[in-house]
Amino acid sequence: MFKKTAIIAGIGLALSVSAQADYRWELGGDYSAGTTDTELKTPLGSRDNSNDADIFSASGTYYLENVDTSKGPLGEAAFLDHASNITLFGSDGEVEFSNFENKDGQTYGAKGRYVAEGPGWKLSGWLMDVGYERREPGNAEIDIYNIGIGNYITENTTLVLNYAKTEPNNSPNPDADSYSLDVEHMWLLSSGGFKANASYGVTTITDRDDVDTYKVGGIWYLNNNLGFGANYQHTSENSYEIDGYSVFSEWFINESVAVNLAYEEAQPDDIDLGNSKLETDISAVTLGALVRF
43: pLDDT strictly greater than 90: no
The per-residue pLDDT for 208 is 84
Bridge partners, residue 201, by sequence: 180, 213
pLDDT in tens, 198-234: 999 999 998 888 999 999 999 999 999 999 999 999 9
* 240 vs 13, residue with greater confidence: 240
Q: What is the pLDDT confidence band of residue 39, given thresholds at 50, 70 and 90?
A: confident
The per-residue pLDDT for 145 is 98
Q: What is the pLDDT confidence band of residue 1, given thresholds at 50, 70 and 90?
A: very low
Q: pTM for this one? A: 0.86
Average pLDDT, the chain: 87
Cα→Cα distances 293→23, 56, 98, 252, Å: 5, 23, 43, 14
277: pLDDT strictly greater than 50: yes
58: pLDDT strictly greater than 50: yes
* Dist CA 98 CA 32 (whole Å): 19
Q: What is the pLDDT confidence band of residue 100, given thresholds at 50, 70 and 90?
A: low
* 52 vs 288, residue with greater confidence: 288
Percent of the chain, pLDDT > 90?
67
- Backbone angles phi and psi of 240, in degrees to 5: -95, 130
The per-residue pLDDT for 7 is 37
Cα→Cα distances 238→173, 207, 211, 217, Å: 18, 13, 8, 25
* 209 vs 122, residue with greater confidence: 209
Q: What is the pLDDT confidence band of residue 119, given thresholds at 50, 70 and 90?
A: low
What's the whole-number mean pLDDT along residues 272-288?
84
Q: Is 3.40.50.300 the CATH number for 24-292? A: no
